[in-house]
Structure 1
Amino acid sequence: MLSDVITQPASAKDASATAESPFYIPMTGPARPRTALKHDDTFIVLDSHGDLGLPGGASDGLFHADTRYLTRLQLRLEDVQPLLLGSNLRDDNSALTVDLTNPDIYQNGRLVLAKDLLHIVRTIFLWRGTAFQRIGLQNHGDAEASFQLTLDFDSDFADLFEVRGSTRPRRGSVSSRRLSPCDAGFDYLGLDDVTRSTLVHFDPAPKQLKAGRAVYQITLAPQQTASVFVSVSCNKPASQKPMPFFRSLLAHRREMRESTRGATTIETSNDIFNEVLCRSMADLNILTTETSQGRYPYAGIPWYSTTFGRDGLITALQMLWIDPRVARGVLRRLAAFQATSVDPLNDAAPGKILHEMRGGEMAALREVPFAQYYGSVDSTPLFVMLAGVYVQRTGDDATLKELWPAIEKGLGWIDGPGDPDRDGFVEYQRATDQGLQNQGWKDSYDAIFHADGKLAEGNIALAEVQGYVFAAKRLAAMCARRLGHADRADELEEQADKLASQFERWFWCEELGTYALALDGAKRPCKVRSSNAGQLLFTGIVRHDRARLVATDLMRPHFFSGWGIRTIACGEPRYNPMSYHDGSIWPHDNALITLGLACYGFKAAVENVFKGLFDAAAYMELRRLPELFCGFPRERRRGPTLYPVACAPQAWASATPFTLLEAALGIQFDADRHEIRLVNPRLPPFLSEVVLRDVRIGASSIDLRVRRHGEGVSMEVLRTDGRIQVSIVLAR
């Protein structure tokens, strides 16, 4: 993911490199807790009071299509901030509810309103490009209460990259206007000649309204209630008034329920894990966006709420057993935007799969290269890989036929521009200085380095990418056979076998007992213990004897903190538990590693990682696994250490609990035989029972109950509908 976030102390050399990184996200002060809501291409970031734009809230705002449409929205009573009683995000993420009360309010030195008499409830949600808010008021005193309520608001139409820290020599022009007693607006004419507009609507009309401020004079009898409704719309004409608050809220919740219908649901014996699963599904639901090609999981809020190739592909892979429709939407969308020509600024070449899309002004003007940016070395093999496992899961040959030309183009890029020196390994080097320096999932500037700490240079071949290519070619061969292309299937299988043999010769480091992080441009191995070696396991490229060595190393204390597996082992030269990619713990990285551990039969290691991440989630706010957290060793009676600017929610982190369960149960699908297999299933000690409902193969479905008995499990079929069979397979 495009990030380059650095918060650890840096040497002068590191500081210089950081300053040169064009998309570094600065961290210059304390970060205050924030809550995010999202619907399709719109999201909002608010503080615990329901305000936005106060100090400490650099990412605050209402954003639509990578532009900030509302910079400030601040509620005041008699020009003072109300007191916070509590702030709660609804379990399904549909709305934020904030409970406030009044402080002691004085006028001319005289107490005119004693504290705790007014109950103020702010309910906020997003739907169809509009932020809705109800401000409910009730007087709990025994006397009449009269007070002034003020809402200050503003807009700057900053591009998301400006909000992240980029500076621009020129900007477009912002204007504000009062449209009616109930409406105020802001307009921005960008340098791209696009007009963007914000419409703020109040109901009832305030006593006073001007651009930037609405003032109400409210009088409430004892126990009397009143409501003020505010809506902020992005790019809506002034004549188009939003639907009423309650009708919109009901429609929004109905849509959210409908969007998850047909996915497998999970209930376990552990109430806390149930909360983790519910939060994860709710987060995935709001991150998933309706596109013209199908539903697509956007990467994360606030910085990555858009189409990311790698993130969408991995999230779809993690969710495949629960809801394969996600994979279909991801594959169709990425096929639609597959590169067709060479464009150095966008790092594009024919057949390459998208890394990132942006819809803001800076992208349109090519001030940043991300309108459609292809600077990802792994999105293309992951695309081919996901297409293959999707077909195995679903038997959907119609979609395979639709995707096959894109699959072949992707394979063409892998064997062509993706391997510029024709050595058999897929490599990357950014085409221009404006692009990402590192183009694997660890894409911060300092993520790929040698055993002496020196950064790798030249065309870099990442270890896990070669595994992705191996799996992609194996799966593409299977797809080719389904379509009747036997010669092509034979060719792809031969290429995969050759890659596996060559990979072992070049990447295995006998002195480390694991695989090198990467090869640099001179084909020198980066002899660093990294989690990248763990991701190799789920691709199947690793020899069985060496898989055991890799797995054993990953579970040693220099890797496994007690909460999860670190990205870089403790003791390596750039190890820093507070870094973005050099010693932190990423849930999705651990999830993919557990899939690999399960493939090679190391179920005890799967249980350890599963329990570590479950325990970490139990400490997290909302039971939500963030994008990453710090890699400090686990201590008794203490939770994990958070990373200050991690995205939350973040798609592949949200999908992690489902992947961990998949790895533990060893869930496999054979769509052609209408069969579900649990291979060497085990449940961790904190789960005595798991119930899976509506597990689907084609038009058939089944409900299952799995119970733990020591290190073994029993399975009970609760319901079947259609032709389907299920079995437990015990294999060495």
Structure 2
Amino acid sequence: MALEQPPGIVDRRKIHEAHTRVKDILGALVIRDGALTLVTAKNGDVPIEENHGFGLYYRDCRFLSGYTLRCNGRTPTDILSSDEKGYASFTVMTNARYKDENGRQVEKETLSIRRDRIIPGILDEKISITNYNEFEAAVELSLAFDSDFDDIFTVRGMTHPTNGRVLPPAYEKGQLTLRYLGEDGHRRNTRIIFDPLPSAVRDGEAVFNLHIKPREQEAIRLRIQVEDMPPDTPSAVDDRQLQRRIKGIRASYADTMECCSNIQTDNGIFNKIFLRSLSDLRMLYMGQPVDIFYSAGVPWYDALFGRDSIISAMQVMPYNPEVARSTLRVLAGYQGRKADDWRDERPGKILHELRVGEQANLNNIPDTPYYGSVDSTPLFLILLAEYIDWTGDMRLFNDLSGNVDAALKWIYEYGDLDGSGLLSYTQRSSKGLYNQSWKDSWDSMSHADGSLAVHPIAAAEVQGYAYMARRRIANLLDRAGRHEDADRLRQDAVNLRWKFNNDFWMEDRKYFAEALDKNGQCDVISSNPAQALWSEIIEPEKARLVVGRIFQKDMFSGWGIRTLSSNEKRYNPLGYHNGTIWPHDNSLICMGLNRYGFKEELAVLFTCMYEAAGFYPIYRLPELFGGFQRGEYDVPIKYPVACSPQAWSAGSIPYMLSASLGFIPDALNTRLTLYKPKLPPWLRTVKIGKIIVGDAYTELEFKREGESTLVNVVGKRGNLEVNIVY
């Protein structure tokens, strides 16, 4: 049969096609602080032509779409070294052969060109050139700047440019200003201050004529400041403010280093991967200094996302619980209050995405915020329960009790679209998402014949979230004395579990359907039911069948579990949600395997993701990678436009470690259970200097002996019971 597209998603398909025309940005240098993000090529340039996503971003606007360095008319391409550490980067290059202004031959590789950058609210750069010739070298250094001031949705190919006006560059008193008058009334400027002053400035290009003596160095310093007026008019940052900001950033990263030093293993590569994971999450802090949450990912999703910010906060809960607390407060502040079809908003619903750029200001997009996410609301409740399990902070539960009730009311009154008792979604906004579970691309939900799912759609894993939210919030309601409400939630959870195991089960395939839609079961084999293991909604006998099925060759690539079986008609190893491998998806599956006691299978997935991380630059797992079979390729095949860093990918390795160690916290009852701890073959020892549960902590050592993992409770402080279940 013809593969017809459901009504309302044609534009989304064109959007996705436009986005996937963007070229490879994996391996880019990324530095970031707060809402300011710089994404460059390895040589530090932002290419002016064929840019494809590089740039300096602030508040969903690209303030630099071009920034290139030339030495004597040529772009240095010999990169000797390049690295970044979240808020800073450096690149070391060398020169090509040239004749200087005096006609003297300067041989290649006799000049060292170094770019040092730091981004504490502004972009501060120092370009140093060292002359290793035996004579004075004349060097012409040119820096070209350009800005389209495009909104991130325009950069991604999802919207047309606005009618804003880019004004000619202006240069006065050592400051080059790129200017833009937005259609939304905002004036946006990129100001570049030079020290020393350039020899000449023309059309956005600054030229420096340097004369560098033998064995000496000359340096040029730039300070690049962005402005968005109104509503936010940043004041000029003086040196004293800059140094305070830098000191604060370094202290914050030092805390990350201390957290990593608190987790010691005998595997040096794993230690580097773990450090990279937590450092990337620190880089993705947003909402500083108080309302911190994790931005979803650079560059496309550098914003508050309900689902992503919640899951990434949950993944690192044992190592950084405070981000969960502030994330909950931020999301509670944006909780839906009215029925608004344009934004897919309903009372009590937790947002999907918040944008603050020109397209949002003009209301050309519904992301102001947009609420088209069926799972962010139950995930909000789960995060709250998880946070209290680790901290015992019932005060937060009391503070957010109104938000909890509103979220539950949304699940019951608005989330059940057809009266079936299942949590489902439909699209109301003309520019909203057709699919509103975590696989939110237009073609992610389908039937075995290749036809796409039709609204309303109830995704498998979402039922698990709803089940888990009811059970865990019921425990907190009991603690608050609301026993009738708690009993009702528990009974509804029991009913939902029965309905899920009955209605989603495909007897002929011995597996759960991806979803239920208007026409029945979406009868494909996918990772959605595997993720449902995380919520424990699956009956034990069926869980065994699910686990066995996902490790068959069509689902398990050797690098992880695919989002869709390679036997299905819509399978594509580079399809965004139709056959690729997502680290966060595999991390949730790992935690589910832990909860059902499938530790051997957990170790296999953990090993896959550990080995995949080792193939990526600086050990950074991207948003996703190709679903090609490992036997066909010796390395994971990259997805060219994947976000990198990406929050829930950065949280995947820490979450898999937690699953392996079997953490089950219960701060309200001063208890920590270690459920069937099992280290993978490449980890012999793990030492945790301090694992905090409530007001107490314990020091733990895990040691693999043959097939067993032994636990030594080295010490405790405070009233904490540590139980080990083998």
Structures share fold, TM-score greater than 0.5: yes
SS of corresponding position for 1:294: coil
Change in Cα spacing, 1:695 to 1:203, as seen in structure 2 (3 Å) is same
After TM superposition, list the pairs within 5 Å mapping 1:225-374 onto structure 2: 225-235=217-227, 240-243=236-239, 249-258=246-255, 265-291=262-288, 294-374=291-371
1:52 match: 46
Q: How many angstroms does 1:595 deviate by? A: 0.7
Distance 2:20 2:93 in 1: 30
**Code of the aligned partner of 1:220:** I
Q: How many angstroms does 1:432 deviate by? A: 2.5
Aligned residue pairs: how many?
A: 717
CA contact (8 A) 1:264 1:695 kept: no
Change in Cα spacing, 1:64 to 1:422, as seen in structure 2 (3 Å) is same
SS of corresponding position for 1:372: coil
After TM superposition, list the pairs within 5 Å mapping 1:458-477 onto structure 2: 458-477=455-474
Match of residue 668, structure 1, among 664, 669, 688: 664
2:616 match: 620
CA contact (8 A) 2:558 2:608 kept: yes
After TM superposition, list the pairs within 5 Å mapping 1:600-639 onto structure 2: 600-635=596-631, 638-639=634-635
1:132 match: 124
**Code of the aligned partner of 1:389:** E
CA contact (8 A) 2:12 2:442 kept: no
Whether 1:720 aligns to 2:692 is: no
Distance 1:238 1:727 in 2: 53
After TM superposition, list the pairs within 5 Å mapping 1:67-216 onto structure 2: 67-90=61-84, 92-106=85-99, 112-128=105-121, 130-168=122-160, 170-178=162-170, 180-210=172-202, 212-216=204-208
SS of corresponding position for 2:304: coil
After TM superposition, list the pairs within 5 Å mapping 1:397-408 onto structure 2: 397-408=394-405
Distance 1:144 1:577 in 2: 56
**Code of the aligned partner of 1:546:** K
CA contact (8 A) 1:264 1:696 kept: no
SS of corresponding position for 1:638: coil
Distance 1:633 1:255 in 2: 40
Please list the CA deviations of residues 566-621 of structure 1 after superposition, one character each: whole Å capped at 9, or x if unmatched. 11112012111111111111111011011111111111110111111111111111
Match of residue 531, structure 1, among 527, 534, 541: 527
Distance 1:76 1:666 in 2: 54
**Code of the aligned partner of 1:712:** S
Q: How many angstroms does 1:133 deviate by? A: 0.8
Whether 1:500 aligns to 2:497 is: yes
Please list the CA deviations of residues 45-93 of structure 1 after superposition, one character each: whole Å capped at 9, or x if unmatched. 1011111024443101100010011121111112111232334223x42
**Code of the aligned partner of 1:194:** H
**Runs of 5+ unmatched residues, structure 2:** none
Distance 1:667 1:395 in 2: 15
SS of corresponding position for 1:127: coil
Match of residue 702, structure 1, among 689, 692, 698: 698
CA contact (8 A) 1:202 1:229 kept: yes
Distance 2:163 2:48 in 1: 23
CA contact (8 A) 1:269 1:689 kept: yes
**Code of the aligned partner of 1:72:** G
CA contact (8 A) 2:445 2:453 kept: yes
- RMSD of Structure 2 on Structure 1 (CA): 2.3
Distance 1:355 1:579 in 2: 22
**Code of the aligned partner of 2:116:** T
CA contact (8 A) 1:628 1:643 kept: yes
Please list the CA deviations of residues 474-514 of structure 1 after superposition, one character each: whole Å capped at 9, or x if unmatched. 11111111111111111111111111111122111111111
CA contact (8 A) 2:48 2:65 kept: no
Percent identity over the alignment is 36
CA contact (8 A) 2:390 2:692 kept: no
Q: How many angstroms does 1:151 deviate by? A: 0.8
CA contact (8 A) 1:181 1:206 kept: no
Please list the CA deviations of residues 6-40 of structure 1 after superposition, one character each: whole Å capped at 9, or x if unmatched. xxxx99979x9666536424333642542221111
Q: Which deviates more from structure 2 when the two are superposed, residues 653-662 or residues 287-296?
A: 287-296
CA contact (8 A) 2:366 2:431 kept: yes
Q: How many angstroms does 1:258 deviate by? A: 4.4
SS of corresponding position for 1:79: coil
**Runs of 5+ unmatched residues, structure 1:** 1-9
Q: Which deviates more from structure 2 when the two are superposed, residues 373-382 or residues 555-564?
A: 555-564
Distance 1:259 1:211 in 2: 43
Match of residue 561, structure 1, among 537, 544, 557: 557
1:4 match: none
**Code of the aligned partner of 1:668:** I
Distance 2:667 2:5 in 1: 54
Distance 2:56 2:298 in 1: 12
Distance 1:174 1:399 in 2: 47
Distance 1:189 1:676 in 2: 57
Change in Cα spacing, 1:174 to 1:624, as seen in structure 2 (3 Å) is same
Q: How many angstroms does 1:723 deviate by? A: 2.9
Q: Which deviates more from structure 2 when the two are superposed, residues 93-102 or residues 276-285?
A: 93-102
Q: How many angstroms does 1:168 deviate by? A: 2.9
CA contact (8 A) 1:176 1:184 kept: no
Q: Which deviates more from structure 2 when the two are superposed, residues 22-31 or residues 450-459?
A: 22-31
Q: How many angstroms does 1:193 deviate by? A: 1.2
CA contact (8 A) 1:508 1:516 kept: yes
**Code of the aligned partner of 2:605:** V
Distance 2:78 2:237 in 1: 31
TM-score relative to the length of structure 1 = 0.94
Distance 1:584 1:287 in 2: 24
SS of corresponding position for 1:373: coil
TM-score relative to the length of structure 2 = 0.94
Match of residue 218, structure 1, among 189, 210, 225: 210
After TM superposition, list the pairs within 5 Å mapping 1:580-619 onto structure 2: 580-619=576-615
Distance 1:37 1:238 in 2: 20
Distance 2:263 2:51 in 1: 36
**Code of the aligned partner of 1:94:** Y
Distance 1:293 1:404 in 2: 21
Q: How many angstroms does 1:292 deviate by? A: 7.0
Q: How many angstroms does 1:362 deviate by? A: 0.3
Q: How many angstroms does 1:293 deviate by? A: 5.7
Change in Cα spacing, 1:262 to 1:169, as seen in structure 2 (3 Å) is closer
**Code of the aligned partner of 1:115:** K
**Code of the aligned partner of 1:79:** G
Distance 1:166 1:532 in 2: 27
Distance 2:319 2:552 in 1: 32
Change in Cα spacing, 1:676 to 1:421, as seen in structure 2 (3 Å) is same
Q: Which deviates more from structure 2 when the two are superposed, residues 473-482 or residues 75-84?
A: 75-84
